[in-house]
């Protein structure tokens, strides 16, 4: 089950326009917060300073319990994971990449990590998620995440320290090369190479995944069918030790996108084209 929040028609129109203009990494959510960068950095540094404290551990436990309940009730009984055998080649930590279409689409990746015996997944999360109100904001702030903001001193300092600790602990780190969430958008989008530069610098593989979305008969909200997710775990991509981190980042970024593109075309039995159609939005029942 996917959550349907207000503003979906506006988000879909923003997706249509952005796709037609080739802006595949732009925001399309109409109600995303736009905090002052300095204030956001202060909030993020405050968050980082509280990691590991009793108060944070309590919030983390609560956030994980809510998501685990959501997965058990709505996800595990419907959704599927294919290609788990591709994780056999990954003996240590890795970056997991995926298409991004829902605030909680990482639930199925958390299930994947547990089934692979890797424990709790860590997700890289846009800093703006940390100022979202309500239950969504609480979960996004407190469920094993590393905040990402456009600030050089933070990215070179606290961000890398948190990422390094997770990798040293052998964790899987989920990162979205597409950057922004596009609501229920079926198609893989070209990604940014930051994730692959991290992987190359740390000498760890990237495991591409692609989430296929299948419409179900039931409606979860007016104008939207429920959606089943099928997570496809694809063969890992390893950095070439004979090449520089920069060279690897370009090669791995291309390989990651091509793997998702091929998976999309295999799953949906159609070539990838970015010409927009209502089918691009899983579950949508457009008004006539």
Distance CA 90, CA 280 (A): 33
Helix (H, G, I), strand (E, B) or coil at 213: strand
Unique residue bearing structure tokens 């990746």:
109
Unique residue bearing structure tokens 């990402």:
148
User: Within 143-244, where are the H helices?
Assistant: 152-154, 160-168, 194-202
- Give, for 233, the enclosing helix (H) or strand (E): strand 224-233
Q: Are strands 94-97 and 172-175 parallel, antiparallel or unpaired?
A: parallel
Helix (H, G, I), strand (E, B) or coil at 212: strand
pLDDT of residue 4: 60
pLDDT of residue 287: 81
DSSP state of 132: -
Neighbouring C-alpha atoms within 13 Å toward the C-beta of 285: 14
pLDDT of residue 74: 62
pLDDT of residue 75: 61
Q: Please, what are the domains in the chain? A: 8-280 (3.40.1130)
- The CB density around residue 36, as the number of other CB atoms within 10 Å, is 9
pLDDT of residue 126: 85
Can you give the pLDDT of all 288 residues of the chain as single tens digits? 555 677 899 999 999 999 999 999 999 998 877 788 899 999 899 889 998 899 989 999 998 888 888 777 666 567 899 999 999 999 999 999 999 998 888 889 999 999 999 989 999 988 888 877 788 788 888 888 999 998 999 999 999 999 999 999 999 999 999 999 999 999 999 999 988 999 999 999 999 999 999 999 988 888 899 899 999 999 999 999 999 999 999 999 999 999 999 999 999 999 999 999 999 999 999 986
pLDDT of residue 129: 81
Task: Tell me the sheet residues that pair with 213.
Answer: 229
pLDDT of residue 52: 87
Q: 235 φ, ψ to 5°?
A: -55, 140
pLDDT of residue 140: 82
Distance CA 131, CA 121 (A): 22
Distance CA 233, CA 247 (A): 25
pTM of the model: 0.92
Helix/strand/coil (H/E/C) assignment for every residue in 30-91: CCCCCCCHHHHHHHHHHHHHHCCCHHHHHHHHHHHHHHHHHHHHHHCCCCEEECHHHHHHCC
DSSP state of 183: T
């Amino acid at each position: 089950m996917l959550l349907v929040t207000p503003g979906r028609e506006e988000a879909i129109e923003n997706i249509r326009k952005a796709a037609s203009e080739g802006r595949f990494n732009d925001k399309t959510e109409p109600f995303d917060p736009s905090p002052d960068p300095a204030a956001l950095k202060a909030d993020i540094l405050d968050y980082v300073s509280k990691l590991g404290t009793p108060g944070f551990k309590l919030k983390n436990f609560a956030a994980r319990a809510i998501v685990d309940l959501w997965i058990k009730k709505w996800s595990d009984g419907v959704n599927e994971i294919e290609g788990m055998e591709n994780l056999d080649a990954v003996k240590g930590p890795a970056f997991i990449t995926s298409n991004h279409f829902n605030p909680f689409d990482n639930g199925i990746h958390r299930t994947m990590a547990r089934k692979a015996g890797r424990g709790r997944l860590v997700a890289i999360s846009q800093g703006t998620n940390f100022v979202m109100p309500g239950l969504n904001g609480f979960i996004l702030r407190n469920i094993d995440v590393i905040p990402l903001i456009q600030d050089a001193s933070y990215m070179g300092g606290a961000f890398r320290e948190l990422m390094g600790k997770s990798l040293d602990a052998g964790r899987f780190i989920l990162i979205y090369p597409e950057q922004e969430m596009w609501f229920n958008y079926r198609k893989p989008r070209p990604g940014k190479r930051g994730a692959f530069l991290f992987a190359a610098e740390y000498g760890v593989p990237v495991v591409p995944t692609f989430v296929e979305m299948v419409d179900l008969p039931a409606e979860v909200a007016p104008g939207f069918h429920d959606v089943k997710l099928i997570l496809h775990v694809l063969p890992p991509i390893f950095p070439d030790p004979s090449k520089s981190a920069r060279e690897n980042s370009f090669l791995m970024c291309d390989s990651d996108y091509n793997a998702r593109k091929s998976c999309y075309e295999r799953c949906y039995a159609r070539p990838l084209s970015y010409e927009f159609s209502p089918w691009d939005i899983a579950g949508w029942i457009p008004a006539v």
